[in-house]
Homo-oligomer: A and B are copies of this chain.
Amino acid sequence: MRRQAVVATVGAVGRLATVSVGEDGAVLEVCWVGGRHARFHALWLRDNSLDPSTRGPANGQRLITIDALDPATRVATAEIGDDGTGVIVRFEPEGLTAEFEASWLEANRYDRPRRRDWGWTAAGVERWDGASMDGRLARAGYSQVCADPLALARWLAAIERAGVAILHGVPVRSGVVCEVAALFGHVRETNYGRWFDVRARVNPDNLADTNLGLQAHTDNPYRDPVPTLQLLHCLDNSVEGGESSVVDGFMAVARLHAEDPPAAHLLAAHPVRFEYRGSADVWLRAKRPIIEIGPDGELLGVRFNNRSAAPWTDVPFDDMPAFLSAYRRLAEIIDDPAMQVRFRLAPGDLFVVDNRRVLHSRTAFGGEGARWLQGCYADVDGLASTVRVHRSTALADTVADTFARRGAEEYLGEAVSMAEHMAQCAAQAEAAGADDELVIAALLHDLGHFTSDLGTYSAGATVDHRHEIAGATALAGLVPRRVTDCIRLHVAAKRYLCAVEPQYRARLSPASVHTLALQGGPMNTAEITAFESEPHHADAVRLRRWDEAAKDPTVTAPPLAHYLALLHHL
């Protein structure tokens, strides 16, 4: 049997169609296959050159300074490399030649429309209220996140996305909250110590230590920089009441802004003061706005804490009535039960909040029993670093490991192995000009066969192992939502196609016909409507067609390493 090689190409956006030099060499214009184009300034390109005299090969640090570059730097010549994956640029008067990869240019183009609307947030940030977060608070087991970097990354990614997540089964031992912080970053030590106790006391220095209810708040706004993460670990909670609740400050800001834009703008336009003098040796103060907006309009943070708010003296007299009204309205939104997600901490539970956005509180509790939490602070930069590393490394490692250990397994009686099927599916996507996300979705669409709690399919299986759900769950938070949506929907897409394209069913392999029955058969009308309301259903249908075509024993797909590079880039 002679195997036919599928030509490996990168996705369409990764290949260049044309390049041209304009404005006397001051600007390079790049057009990618597919029609996207962008301009780059010669000086910007030179400053960001990746050649080893510009960037240290070991660590990527820039070795040159901006004022050492000739301000008249221009692109003398620019040529597309042989395979269209890069452009070779010669800079004058310096005479340096450097290559820029098409995908690098794509990722770093700045000649593009950008969000500048007030209070925008990054694509991965999800705002929520009580209804939208109900039952969706990210939860994981402590032993699981300790043992499995991917489980850890998924749990951390939920904190990046929603600003809150819960861990169960944390050892009930004093100080262990710092060990949890060490899983992803570094404890921010303060005057409260590396960690601190929160218990009911009779003559407390801090309201958190009484049994009164607390208004939802961000912690320690009197510090600057404010701690960006807070961890709270429950060691005992045998009181009545004392439920925890969280509110998304970013959603509260969005609600205020939707209701009354000038009110939201006002809370961002003037700083306020916070102060803490709880003991003789501590006198902390900060002056920062309640709503922090970056220079490009991005919503960066919320500070809200009635207890430590000092007299506000930075708001001009004429603005003060409107400022206080806006503050009151924000407080009302925050106090609105519809904004809250409530949960009761049991011993061994721990929750983390992004203290730049998620407010936390607890209800009042009764005198019987005890309530003992331990808290510590940490910072999100370390958390984000850990997610990035695990996303790129642990995910790739896991995929490689799965392919190596399990890839040779039989694929439901088809003529190709599991690994061959998945790689062929990715190759089909590439050949169709799909972008990187869809190629990766194609590659990983059957990953759930290896991760399902119900085990691997066999050709004679009589129950559906829901491998599409298992795969999407394993990857949640680690790849873009579109990738997990395509994976989650690729079985539904088969049932959909069987319903709307009668001739499609005829093309299914016998194994696919067998599982179709287990999966519920062709969709009914209601199921079709629901499927078509999914934002990525069309991508899932495309993936499904590649899936069907990826069972050819005469074909050799590109090696996994080719796709791992794409995954890394994602």
Contacting pair A58 B282 (CB below 8 A)? no
Q: Which residue of B66, B191, B306, B313 is within 8 Å of A110 (Cβ)?
A: B313
Q: Which residue from chain B places its CB closest to the CB of A307 in the assembled complex?
A: B61
Q: Which residue of B108, B275, B283, B311 is within 8 Å of A311 (Cβ)?
A: B108
* Chain A window 167-211, contacts with chain B (Cβ cutoff 8 Å), 1 for yes, 0 for no: 000000000000000000011111100000000000111110000
Contacting pair B187 A189 (CB below 8 A)? yes
Number of copies: 2
Q: 8 Å CB contacts to B: which residues of A260-296? A: 268-271, 275-278, 280-289, 293-296
Q: Which residue from chain B places its CB closest to the CB of A212 in the assembled complex?
A: B63
Instruction: Pick out which of these stretches binds chain B: A8-16, A124-132, A324-332, A519-527.
Output: A324-332
Task: Report if A237 contacts B (CB, 8 A).
Answer: no
Task: Report if A381 contacts B (CB, 8 A).
Answer: yes
Knowing A186-B189, A307-B61, A324-B43 are in contact, say whether A270-B295 is a contact too (CB < 8 A). Answer: yes
Contacting pair A67 B332 (CB below 8 A)? yes
Knowing A48-B311, A62-B309 are in contact, say whether A320-B41 is a contact too (CB < 8 A). Answer: yes
- How many Å lie between the Cα of A517 and that of B280 in the bound state? 46
Knowing A283-B389, A285-B388 are in contact, say whether A225-B379 is a contact too (CB < 8 A). Answer: yes
- How many Å lie between the Cα of A60 and that of B280 in the bound state? 12
Q: 8 Å CB contacts to B: which residues of A221-262? A: 222-226, 228
- How many Å lie between the Cα of A393 and that of B109 in the bound state? 56
Q: Which residue of B58, B307, B317, B381 is within 8 Å of A286 (Cβ)?
A: B381
Which B residues are CB-close (under 8 A) to A226? Answer: 225
Q: Which residue of B66, B69, B284, B324 is within 8 Å of A381 (Cβ)?
A: B284
Q: Which residue of B205, B288, B324 is within 8 Å of A66 (Cβ)?
A: B324
- How many Å lie between the Cα of A379 and that of B225 in the bound state? 7
Which B residues are CB-close (under 8 A) to A382? Answer: 190-191, 284
Task: Report if A316 contacts B (CB, 8 A).
Answer: yes
Contacting pair A385 B191 (CB below 8 A)? yes
Q: Which residue from chain B places its CB closest to the CB of A224 in the assembled complex?
A: B381
- How many Å lie between the Cα of A314 and that of B317 in the bound state? 36
**Cβ of A285 to closest chain B Cβ, rounded Å:** 7
Contacting pair B61 A206 (CB below 8 A)? yes
Contacting pair B324 A41 (CB below 8 A)? yes
Task: Report if A97 contacts B (CB, 8 A).
Answer: no
Which B residues are CB-close (under 8 A) to A44? Answer: 311-312, 320, 324
- How many Å lie between the Cα of A385 and that of B279 in the bound state? 11
Which B residues are CB-close (under 8 A) to A270? Answer: 295-296
Task: Report if A466 contacts B (CB, 8 A).
Answer: no
Chain A positions within 8 Å of B, measured between CB atoms, are 26, 39, 41, 43-44, 47-48, 56, 58-67, 69, 71, 108-112, 114, 186-191, 203-207, 215, 222-226, 228, 268-271, 275-278, 280-289, 293-296, 298, 306-309, 311-317, 320-321, 324-325, 327-328, 331-332, 335, 379-382, 384-385, 388-389, 392-393
A sample of 8 cross-chain residue pairs with beta-carbon separation below 8 angstroms, ordered by A number, consists of A44-B324, A65-B331, A65-B335, A108-B313, A111-B317, A188-B188, A191-B385, A225-B379
- 4 nearest A-B residue pairs (beta carbon): A225-B225, A111-B317, A283-B388, A61-B307
Extra pairs beyond A63-B207, A225-B226 (9, CB < 8 Å): A58-B204, A67-B335, A110-B312, A110-B314, A284-B381, A284-B382, A284-B384, A284-B385, A293-B295
